[in-house]
Amino acid sequence: MSLRLEMHDAQGALLQAPPEPFTYLHGGYGGLLAALERSLEGRQAGDEVRVQLEPEQAFGDYDPELVRLEPIERYGDGLKVGMEIEEDDAGESRIYTVTDIADGKAVLDGNHPLAGIALRFYLKILAVREAKAEEIARGVSLP
């Protein structure tokens, strides 16, 4: 399925509107948020869909337990706000974003940047076609 996508916050502020169409393999392959994919079930080219997702349907609730304060010397020179750091967290790999640096400490946030935010989506379906066998085997849409 190929579509145009706009993502807004709950107040209507535009967060993302990729200039190129978004193409994904429909059917639970993980190319699109599950709640968004359900809203597109049975749709055809030309259909327009507006849907609001609550945090638990999108990127989850914000978890303050995923915020850590670490000494900056642990990461060497060049640490900057906005950088992403991969850390092993209780045997699980997690990406942390550096959100602040002050007094020799770095604030690392392991939440998705959109965690805790209700999101509104506007989707316009541009094309629908049967998936190729190779796409199904790989679990992704191919050009």
Q: What is the pLDDT of residues 128-137, one digit of tens each?
A: 988 888 888 8
Residues 6 and 47 in one domain: yes
- What is the torsion angle, in degrees rounded to the nearest 10, for the CA atoms of residue 119, residue 116, residue 96 and residue 33? -40
- What is the torsion angle, in degrees rounded to the nearest 10, for the CA atoms of residue 77, residue 80, residue 83 and residue 87? 50
Residues 103 and 130 in one domain: no
In total, how many domains does the chain have?
2
The C-alpha atoms of residue 117 and residue 114 are separated, in whole angstroms, by 6
The verdict on residue 72 lying in a domain is yes
* pLDDT tens, residue by residue, 38-97: 999 999 999 999 999 999 999 999 999 999 999 999 988 889 999 999 988 778 889 999
Quote the pTM value: 0.79
- What CATH number is attached to the domain comprising 95? 2.40.10.330
The verdict on residue 143 lying in a domain is no
Say which amino acid occupies 128. Answer: V
Which structural domain range is residue 79 located in?
64-109
Residues 15 and 32 in one domain: yes
